[in-house]
Amino acid sequence: MFSLPPGDLSLYLHIPMCKSRCSYCGFYSEPTAVWEGRVASYTERLVSEIDQLGTRDAPFYTLYIGGGDPANLTVENLRLLLTAAQRQGRPREVTVEVNPESFDESFFPLFEERLVTRLSMGIQTMDQALLSVIGRRTTAADNRRALSLAQEARARYGVDLSIDLMVALPNQTAAGAIRDIETVLSLCEAEHLSLYCLTVEEGTALARQVQDGTVTVADEDGQEAFLRSLWAHLHGLGFEHYEVSNFAKNGRYSRHNCVYWSLDDYLGLGSGAASTIGSFHWQQNQDLIGYTEANPFDGYEKEETDTWEQAEEYLMMALRTTWGIDKVRFFERFGLDFDRMFSKAVARCEPTWYIDSAQNFAITEDGWMVLDEILVRLVMEIP
Ligand code: SF4
């Protein structure tokens, strides 16, 4: 059983069910043959874990149902999860991820009842040829239809929209990626965009294609050129670049993801889900069938981290955001003086990579281009 903290806590529910595998995907997710016939038992176990969470009487701060493609659960099962997770009251934000090909009007009652306040959709690209290259099941026509429906949900029920796009795809040009952004925004008024470069994960179909030469992906310089022109374009459209890969209009940040980037407490339930509560991490086995057959709370591996490890994790997460590190809070939280600890490493960084004041240390867009390099320099200073 998890020991729940008295303060704010977010909840993440993981639904690792996909209809087919995208060629670049390195996430844990199971194909239809594994999960079909198990959506009810998977939902039941999640609901029983939520119900047995103990004497918590406050609403979750945020709730996020992600995957995989949670739409595979069906609207009825999603409703069971959403209701169970909101018995103690409404979270500040409730996000559900869906794949475009799975999204239709049957989801609208969830918005109408305010069980869901934010819809996150993985569009990736509007280019049919590129969708095929990265092995997406969805078509460009699916993407168009789903974006128009999402816009309808936004207009009718005030749902916030977040759209994921991938860039630096094989043979894609920066102009083509900008065209994707323009097309998406012509179909829906998304207030949040996530922009990821295609990366080659070991063991994926894409990795094999790159190895045998059938697909070529952009190198680091190519990716940087892409990102620079797309970031500039999004600034021009009024989006705030508030995290390395995330953009928001009118302060509509992903509150749930901000919890991760602040290393605040969140509980993750479901096969493959991770949690962080105080100095503890939990990780559930990546075994969807095992999850449906075991007792509630079986299979969550617990690990304790010390202050140094927490400070390192915090650096890696917080420096992804435009707010960076609040030095006073860093001291209150970890008992560490940021300037005393990191000033030598900071001095070895290019001045254009960061903004350093008495109160804060944050990375600039120039710095985000070399974030890993900066993090290595800082982390080396942690004993
Ligand atoms: S839909 Fe998402 S989780 Fe499923 S295979 Fe594609 S990238 Fe992976």
- Contacts of residue 180, defined as CB under 8 A and 6 or more positions apart, other chains included, come to 123, 125, 126, 127, 165, 167
Are 342 and 245 in the same domain?
no
The answer to whether the peptide bond before residue 290 is cis (omega within 30 degrees of 0) is no
| Ligand 1 touching residue 134 (CB < 6 A) | no
Question: What is the DSSP secondary-structure string of 273-340?
Answer: -EEEETTEEEEE-S-HHHHHHSPTTTTEEEEE--HHHHHHHHHHHHTTBTT-EEHHHHHHHHS--HHH
Considering the entire predicted model, what is its pTM?
A: 0.96
What is the average per-residue pLDDT within 177-194? 98
Q: Given the DSSP bridges, would you call strands 10-15 and 62-67 parallel, antiparallel or unpaired?
A: parallel
Task: Compute the C-alpha angle 94/99/103, nearest 5°.
Answer: 80
Q: What is the pLDDT of residue 7?
A: 78
Q: How far is the CA of 147 from the centre of ligand 1 (A)?
A: 18
For ligand 1, whether the C-beta of 21 sits within 6 Å is yes
What would the pLDDT profile of 231-244 be if each residue is shown by its tens digit?
999 999 999 999 99
Residue 292 CA to ligand 1 center (angstroms) comes to 21
256 and 317 part of one domain: no
Atom of ligand 1 at shortest range from CA of 24: 7
Share of the chain above pLDDT 90, in %: 93
For helices 371-379 and 338-347, the axis angle rounded to 10 degrees is 130
Q: 132: CA distance to ligand 1 center in Å?
A: 14
Task: Summarize the confidence of residues 199-217 as an average pLDDT.
Answer: 91
Q: Tokens 């994707």 — which residue?
A: 180
Our measurement of the distance from residue 352's CA atom to the centroid of its chain's CA atoms, rounded to an integer in Å, reads 28
Q: Tell me how far the alpha carbon of residue 300 lies from the centroid of ligand 1, in angstroms.
A: 23
The finding on whether 69 has its CB within 6 A of some atom of ligand 1 is yes
Give a yes or no: residue 223 inside a domain.
yes
pLDDT of residue 175: 95
Q: Are residues 229 and 96 in the same domain?
A: yes
- The boundaries of the domain holding residue 169 are 10-260
Q: Which residues contact 229 (CB under 8 A, 6 or more apart)?
A: 174, 178
Q: What are the Cα distances from residue 138, in Å, to 22, 143, 270?
A: 10, 7, 25
Nearest CA residue ID for atom 1, ligand 1: 68
In a domain, 183, yes or no: yes
- Start-to-end Cα distance in the chain: 33
Q: Does the Cβ of 22 fall within 6 Å of ligand 1?
A: yes
Q: How many domains does the chain have?
A: 2
Is residue 23 within 8 Å of 205, Cβ to Cβ?
Answer: yes
Segment holding 13, helix H or strand E? strand 10-15
Residue 132 and residue 41 share a domain = yes
- Strand partners of residue 194: 164, 246
Spacing, Cα 124 to ligand 1 middle (Å): 11
Q: Which of these ranges, 56-65, 132-141, 180-189, 326-335, has the smallest mean pLDDT?
A: 56-65
Task: Quick: pLDDT tens for 28-52.
Answer: 999 999 999 999 999 999 999 999 9
Domain boundary at 201, 233, 260, which? 260
Cβ of 86 below 6 Å from ligand 1: no
For residue 293, being part of any structural domain is answered with no
Alpha helical stretches, state H, the chain: 32-35, 39-51, 75-84, 108-112, 128-133, 140-157, 174-187, 205-211, 220-236, 255-261, 288-293, 307-318, 327-334, 338-347, 365-368, 371-379
Q: Tell me, yes or no, whether 3 lies in a domain.
A: no
pLDDT score for 55: 63
**In terms of domains, do 136 and 54 share one?**
yes
Alpha carbon of residue 236 to chain centroid:
24
pLDDT of res. 6: 65
Report the nearest atom of ligand 1 relative to the CA of 26.
8
Does any ligand 1 atom lie closer than 6 A to the CB of residue 142? Answer: no
179 shares its domain with 255: yes
The last residue of one of the domains, among 260, 287, 322, is: 260
CB 163 within 8 A of CB 190: yes
Confidence at residue 13, expressed as pLDDT on a 0 to 100 scale: 98
235 lies in the same domain as 335: no
Q: Do residues 92 and 237 share a domain?
A: yes
| Domain assignment present for 275 | no
- The CB of 99 under 6 Å from ligand 1? The reply is yes
**Ligand 1 in contact with 71 (CB < 6 A)?**
no
CATH number at residue 378: 1.10.10
Residue 95 Cβ inside 6 Å of ligand 1? The answer reads no
The alpha carbon of 17 and the centre of ligand 1 are apart by a number of angstroms equal to 8
Cβ of 334 less than 6 Å from ligand 1: no
- Residue 30's CATH number: 3.20.20.70
Q: Which of 69, 103, 138 to mutate to test the pocket of ligand 1 (most atoms within 8 A of CB)?
A: 69
| In contact, 192 and 247? CB cutoff 8 Å | yes
Å from CA of 25 to ligand 1 middle: 6
Residues 40 and 160 in one domain: yes
Query: Are residues 233 and 348 part of one domain?
Result: no
Long-range CB contact pairs, 84-88, < 8 A, 24+: 84/46, 84/47, 84/50, 84/51, 85/11, 85/13, 85/50, 85/60, 86/59, 86/60, 86/115, 88/56, 88/57, 88/58, 88/59, 88/60
**Minimum CA distance residue for ligand 1 atom 6:** 22
Is 223 a residue whose pLDDT tops 70? yes
Q: Using one digit for the tens of pLDDT, what is the confidence trace for 56-114?
A: 678 999 999 999 999 999 999 999 999 999 999 999 999 999 999 999 999 999 999 99
pLDDT at 16 > cutoff 90: yes
Q: Are 277 and 267 in contact (CB under 8 A)?
A: yes
Structure tokens at 321: 């955001």
pLDDT over 90 (residue 144): yes
CB 30 less than 6 A from any atom of ligand 1: no
Tens-place pLDDT, residues 310-319:
999 999 999 9
- Order of all β-strands in the sheet with 354-356: 325-326, 360-363, 354-356
Ligand 1 neighbourhood includes 29 CB (under 6 angstroms): yes
Domain match, 28 and 158 both: yes
Q: Which residue has the tokens 């009118």?
A: 250
- Looking at the domain assignment, is residue 102 inside a domain? yes
Sign of CA dihedral 181, 182, 183, 188: positive
- For residue 33, being part of any structural domain is answered with yes
Last residue of one domain, picked from the residues 229, 260, 291? 260
Strands 118-124 and 160-167, sheet pairing = parallel
Provide CB contacts within 8 A for 101, sequence distance 6+: 19, 137, 138, 139, 142, 146
d(CA 224, CA 211): 22
Q: What is the mean pLDDT of the chain?
A: 95
Question: What pLDDT is stored for residue 2 in this prediction?
Answer: 57
Rounded to a whole number of angstroms, the CA Rg of the chain reads 21
356 lines ligand 1 (CB under 6 A): no
CA 286 to centroid of chain Cα atoms: 18
Q: Is residue 282 part of a domain?
A: no
Q: Are residues 125 and 255 in the same domain?
A: yes
* 312-362 pLDDT tens trace: 999 999 999 999 999 999 999 999 999 999 999 999 999 999 999 999 999
pLDDT band for position 5 (cuts 50, 70, 90)? low
Atom of ligand 1 nearest to the CA of 67: 3
pLDDT given at position 375:
97
